[in-house]
Amino acid sequence: MDVPDVRLVGVRKAYGDVIAVDGVDLEVASGEFFTLLGPSGSGKTTTLRLIAGFERPDEGRIELAGRDVTGLPPYPRDVNTVFQDYALFPHMTVAENVAYGLRVKGVPRRERRLRVEEILQIVQLAGLGNRKPSELSGGQRQRVALARAMVNHPQVLLLDEPLGALDLKLRQEMQIELKRIQRAVREVGITFVYVTHDQEEALTMSDRLAVFNDGKVEQIGTPAAVYERPENAFVAGFVGASNVLQRFGRTFTVRPEKIRMSADGGTRRDDDNAATGRIRDVVYAGMFTRYVVDLDDGGELVVVRQNLETSSTEALDARGRRVLLEWRADHAIETKPEREENHDSSS
């Protein structure tokens, strides 16, 4: 088997009584776009800092391409980090910012120029090399920061919520752009490790992702596997919206978009895959409407329906109606409950 570019074995990090990372094991393959996903305080950023060398683990081992780097400072590690604030030099041009790391390493001027032109082409900033950062948009500055981090061809590129400062529309555009850039440099062999609390980012860009909670990894898998088959209630609730039900001695989750909703015909059904209730709340969100249904046998279900032909008035008028909810048996995924232990942790 190929040696992974990043391997963590039993990594633990605590700050006094606060356990930030608690026995994390994971592997990231060469050229992979791997995301560390979790809420604030889950340990994902601390894990990234451990890989970068900004922090030292209390226990465990960190390897880069099979080399044990656990005790090494950041500089000898073949990694670069892109932060949320970009940290561009305002007095330098775009080309000078991108070339800075090459100049520090003593790369000859002609080679620097060629490599800068190449990477600016990849991030679609060709022709903007003479501009200052203040003359660029937020998305363009973010791409300059990426270009500066990638021009050295690091083995691993670490990205700490780099899209967090952008507005929603630009962030969505940059998610697609960042994945395109990753594919463009894959032949160079750069592995991306990305930190985010945004489930949409993780599902949009990742080859695989690890879901963090309280310093531990709850699940690792492809976006489709994690979304469609969450292993426990935390993953089901955090990665997208989900309904967690306990019926007939089973705990299972059903995604809101998998539930069919129709008028209640009044026939009571003793069925694992159906329920009746009354619509309590309606949230019209343009492309879809979210319905919250109080169930007759207790609890609630959230149902999402696309507004293919439904107007906002029709959707809102549904409040108070009785409905029958049905779902396929294979869409009811049995899950384990959340872990009972609850360690304090740092993001």
Reported as a single tens digit per residue, the pLDDT across 166-215 is: 788 888 888 888 888 888 877 667 899 999 999 989 999 999 999 999 99
> How long a stretch of residues is the chain?
347
- The one-character DSSP state at 188 is G
Does position 1 have pLDDT exceeding 60, yes or no?
A: no
Mean pLDDT of the region 228-237: 90
- The residue written with tokens 């451990």 in the block is 50
Please give the structure tokens belonging to residue 101: 């790391």
| Tens-place pLDDT, residues 249-273 | 788 899 999 999 998 876 655 677 8
- Cα torsion 126, 129, 135, 137: sign: positive
Q: How far apart are CA 112 and CA 152, in angstroms?
A: 10
CB 294 within 8 A of CB 264: no
**Distance (Å) of CA 203 to CA 86, 101, 198, 208, 224:** 23, 32, 9, 9, 8
Predicted pLDDT of residue 339 = 60
The pLDDT score that the predictor gives to residue 257 is 93
Over residues 282-307, the mean pLDDT reads 91
Q: Are the CB atoms for 167 and 173 separated by under 8 Å?
A: no
pLDDT band at 63 (very low <50, low <70, confident <90, very high): very high
pLDDT classification of 345: cutoffs 50, 70, 90: very low
For residue 114 the two structure tokens come to: 């060629």
> Side chain identity at 257, as an amino acid letter?
E
Q: pLDDT digit string (tens) for 102-125?
A: 998 899 999 999 999 999 988 889
pLDDT score of 267: 62
**pLDDT at position 343:** 43
- The pTM for the full model equals 0.86
> Which CATH number does the domain 241-334 belong to among 3.30.70.1230, 2.40.50.100, 3.40.50.300, 3.40.50.150?
2.40.50.100
| Sheet of 6-15, strands arranged across | 18-28, 6-15, 59-64, 67-68
Please, which pLDDT band fits residue 341 given cuts at 50, 70 and 90? very low
3.90.550.10, 3.10.129.10, 3.40.50.300, 3.40.50.280: CATH of 6-233:
3.40.50.300
Higher pLDDT, 99 or 336: 99
**Helices 94-104, 109-122: crossing angle, 10 deg rounding:** 130
C-alpha 210 chain-centroid distance:
8
Mean of the per-residue pLDDT values of the chain: 89
Express as a percent the part of the chain with pLDDT over 70: 95
| Domain ranges within the chain, ordered by starting residue | 6-233, 241-334
235-244: long-range contacts, CB 8 A cutoff, minimum separation 24: 235/211, 235/335, 236/333, 236/335, 238/37, 238/38, 238/39, 238/199, 238/211, 238/213, 239/37, 239/199, 239/202, 239/203, 239/211, 240/199, 240/203, 241/302, 241/304, 243/301, 243/302, 244/335
Q: Is the pLDDT of residue 2 over 60?
A: yes
